Amino acid sequence: MSRVCHLSSVHHGLDIRIYHKQCVSLAAAGHDVHLVIDASAEQVAEAAAAGVTLHRLPPAGGGRIRRVLAHAWRTYRIARALDARLYHLHDPELIPYGVLLAWQGKQVIIDLHEDLSADIQSKPWIPASLRHAIGAAARAVEHFAARRCAAMVAATPHIGALFRHSARRVAVIHNYPMVGELAAGPPPERSVRDSVCYVGAINEMRGIRQIIQALDLASCKLLLAGRFDSATLRDELAACPGWRHVEECGFVDRAEVAAIMARSFCGLVTLHPEPNFMNALPIKLFEYMSAGLPVIASGFPLWRGIIEAADCGLCVDPGKPEEIAHAISFLRSNPALAERLGANGRRAIERTYRWDHEAVRLLSLYRELLQSLNAA
């Protein structure tokens, strides 16, 4: 049994990609899996029952600079003391410590959940005049680490392609759903599916303003699950006419996510055309499909290709509330079509976009890296 350690100074608790998918899959394959992350005592106990040992971080305080410096350092020290054979890092803040672990003779995987340089271009708290330079510096650090660490894991082919010429190994491991996790049981009565839903982070770039405006045009209820990045934005939108159609659910667990989707006739993923979104594969798109919901999504070429190939939803211009409203009204007025599109999406998940296929790739990468240690 090989001791492996995942670490994150940014994510919390039983994170879906880090814990539920990667760590649990590795533990089921017989690895001694440790995870350093901000978690509760209850989450530690739940993880232990699945064969994963959680090492709790206290919540980070003091803003972004403190998290980047002090909290990342604390995360590294706890992880290093575990003396694992392989370390799997999940945050850009931890990349320098990944290089340090590699210099200490450890096998290190850097997991790229998103295109960091592109994401920096959309950060409102970074002055626009500095974003290009900071993004370029971040990319240079990533390439420096890629040449020294054992492997880069990329959540999308686009991210993986960025490191083909600098990384020792690149493995594309998609963040696809676990089949059956969100699938509804027997379909509820048609009258129960009276809402659209949005599940995930809530901010301007993810299209919440246009969604609220569309609700007023379509007179349709929205089940809104997630946290607002800004209380100011939430208060501003709460004063808009469309807000009267919002049922605010807050941050919910996976069982509640499934219940919200069971009450909905479609799921919304109308993100703005920001650099980091155009080539992303948002998990909410695939989770809606997994739950048998037709999707209303931004018409980015990549997303449109997936949706049209699966015949599982409608594409809109995310900047036009009237298009979102029309798509909502169309699906509400055509329940048989909505049901067919939802069934097509679920079928595509069962055939193609499923986590267990990705878990095979993850386990193969670990087997290769650990065997190279044994041969050294």
CA 164 from chain centre, in angstroms, equals: 23
What is the spatial distance between Cα 155 and Cα 249, in angstroms, rounded to a whole number? 28
The reported pLDDT for the residue numbered 357 is 97
pTM to 2 decimals? Answer: 0.91
Residue 188 has pLDDT above 60, yes or no: no
Amino acid 25 reads S
Residue 62 has pLDDT above 80, yes or no: no
Q: What is the mean pLDDT of the chain?
A: 93
Residue 13: pLDDT band (50, 70, 90) is confident
What is the spatial distance between Cα 268 and Cα 325, in angstroms, rounded to a whole number? 11
Amino acid 220 reads C
141 token code pair: 């650090």
- Residue range 330-345: average pLDDT? 97
User: What phi and psi, each to the nearest 5 degrees, are found at residue 266?
Assistant: -165, 165
User: Which option is the CATH number for 190-351: 1.10.580.10, 3.40.50.2000, 3.30.200.20, 3.40.50.1000?
Assistant: 3.40.50.2000
Sheet with 3-12, edge to edge strand ranges: 52-57, 32-38, 3-12, 86-89, 107-112, 151-154, 170-172
Question: Given CA atoms 42, 198, 235, 274 in this order, what sign does their dihedral have?
Answer: positive
Give me the residue spans of the domains in the chain.
3-176+355-375, 190-351
| Beta strand segments in the chain, E | 3-12, 32-38, 52-57, 86-89, 107-112, 151-154, 170-172, 195-199, 221-225, 246-250, 264-269, 295-298, 313-316
Range from 51-60, 122-131, 144-153, 315-324 carrying the lowest mean pLDDT = 122-131
CATH code linked to domain 3-176+355-375: 3.40.50.2000
Angle, in degrees to the nearest 10, between helices 231-238 and 208-218: 20
Burial of 79 (0-12, 13-18, 19+ CB in 10 A): buried
Residue in 77, 59, 60, 149 with CA at minimum distance from that of residue 112: 149
Residue 375 has pLDDT above 70, yes or no: no
pLDDT in tens, 279-312: 999 999 999 999 999 999 999 999 999 999 999 9
What is the spatial distance between Cα 49 and Cα 109, in angstroms, rounded to a whole number? 25
pLDDT in tens, 99-156: 999 999 999 999 999 998 988 888 887 888 888 899 999 999 999 999 999 999 999 9
The reported pLDDT for the residue numbered 27 is 97
The DSSP-derived string for 167-198 is -S-EEE---PPPTTSS--SSPPPGGG--EEEE
CA angle 6/12/14 to nearest 5° reads: 70
The reported pLDDT for the residue numbered 58 is 78
User: Are the folds of 3-176+355-375 and 190-351 the same?
Assistant: yes
Q: How many CB atoms lie within 10 A of CB 352?
A: 14
Asked if 184 contacts 361 with a C-beta cutoff of 8 angstroms, the reply is no
The reported pLDDT for the residue numbered 190 is 46
User: What phi and psi, each to the nearest 5 degrees, are found at residue 75?
Assistant: -60, -45
329 token code pair: 């009204």
Residue 60: pLDDT band (50, 70, 90) is low
What is the spatial distance between Cα 87 and Cα 107, in angstroms, rounded to a whole number? 6
pLDDT in tens, 261-282: 999 999 999 999 998 899 999 9
